[in-house]
Amino acid sequence: MTVIPRDRHTISRKDISENALKVLYRLNKAGYEAYLVGGGVRDLLLGKKPKDFDISTNATPEQMRKLFRNCRLVGRRFRLAHVMFGPEVIEVATFRSHHETASGEPTDRNDSQRGQNGMLLRDNVFGSIEDDAQRRDLTINSLYYSVADFTVRDYIGGLSDLQQGIIRMIGDPETRYREDPVRMLRVVRFAAKLDMGVAAETAEPIPRLATLLRDVPAARLFEEALKLLQAGFGHATYLKLCEFQLFQPLFPLITRYFTEQGDSNMERMIVQVLKNTDHRLQNQMRVNPAFLFAAMFWYPQLEASQKIAQESGLAWYEAFALAMNDVLDEACRSLAIPKRITTLIRDIWMLQLRLSRRHGKRAWKLMEHPKFRAAYDLLALRAQVEENPELQRLSSWWSEFQVSAPPQQKTMLNTLGDDPSPRRRTRRPRKRTPNQDSKRSGGNNA
């Protein structure tokens, strides 16, 4: 163990959340060991502002609940204590130990349990801080800061790796990946986020074991996908996911359309939407996962629509609607995208069919749609990616129309002239019942 005294590191209490300090002080006062640990310590040492502050202690979750009235216990696989301070949650974990005794015998199966493939199903074996340091995933996330003496404790060389810019898995990487395949995604995420290299022994097993991600619940992979792609470094992460062959288990439908040259419309779309997302996040602007996924899956959706239309003879609108179901169903098999998001994706896609229909009051009605702006942004991305003159003209028209005064908007609509947006019906005639014959059927404005 290496103990770094206060005068040899850059961590200051003024940079630590007041609520995290309250938890640390109360645990120490009650006689427990307690340390700031993980990403909070890592980021403070790098001079960055931590996103959150996690704590590790020798107090058990039940002891935590007795000590803090504003505490709730969460997790089955990893039992954690969440201490609630309004919108801020301080996560407290009890020191974890190994899953075997010194003689190699397994610990109590009620506390630790593995699946047949080596994946940890339950991990509530408690131990000392030395044990806990060995049980963490990456060396750079295994540094401990104490408010008792203001020292940083390093048990496995994490400070050296942090200074050298190396992502290194603690223990045998293949064993650790089999215990929890999501650790492979964490390696890639931190390498991209911190612009660090990956140690050779940490990197080598990843392409071989990438398919283990298929054993991870789709709901968990959805949350991991958001961390990977919507945290401000999505483009760099995407490149590393492809390099380590981890993108395919997350997005098998998309990788089916990858080309050797990497220059298809879909691949250019992914690069551009991720760069745009990174730009927005770095400028403190909001992002919506529905738009990201709508853009990423747009070309698979388009190709599926064309295939259905050709094979079934259905009208384009109907083929497009059927393809939406197929594409989103397949996407949700690997990532459990919530219905609230798939609903928005459908809206954004369906509006792509309506944006060229601007005559009469349609343009104004379209702008009233809650997802108009997202649909317009996707149209602009498509125009940029495809370099299609017609799409570029349409995108430019909408750009001008949105910022124009009503009189100018009216003039723009009146001068559409021979605009290539047909008013003809897109549906094939259907046999109608006598009741339906008495009704007039208008164009599709939905």
**What are the residue numbers of the active site?**
52, 54, 137
Structure tokens, 230: 């919507």
The answer to whether 220 and 227 have CB atoms below 8 angstroms apart is: no
Beta partners for residue 112, in sequence order: 123
What the block records as the tokens of 121 is 């199903």
Long-range contacts of 320-325 (CB under 8 A, 24+ apart): 320/349, 320/350, 320/353, 321/350, 324/349, 324/350
Residue 49 burial class via C-beta count within 10 angstroms: exposed 0-12, middle 13-18, buried 19 and up: exposed
Q: Using alpha carbons only, what angle is made at residue 132 by residues 126 and 138, rounded to the nearest 5 degrees?
A: 140
Tokens of 305: 């629509």
Contact 28, 34 (CB under 8 A): yes
Among candidate residues 329, 301, 337, 129, the one with its CA nearest the CA of residue 221: 337
The distance of Cα 329 from the centroid of its chain, to the nearest Å, equals: 19
What span, in angstroms and rounded, lies between the C-alpha atoms of 325 and 250?
19
Tokens of 332: 């949700």
Tell me the CA end-to-end span of the chain in Å, nearest whole number.
66
Instruction: Say which amino acid occupies 159.
Output: L
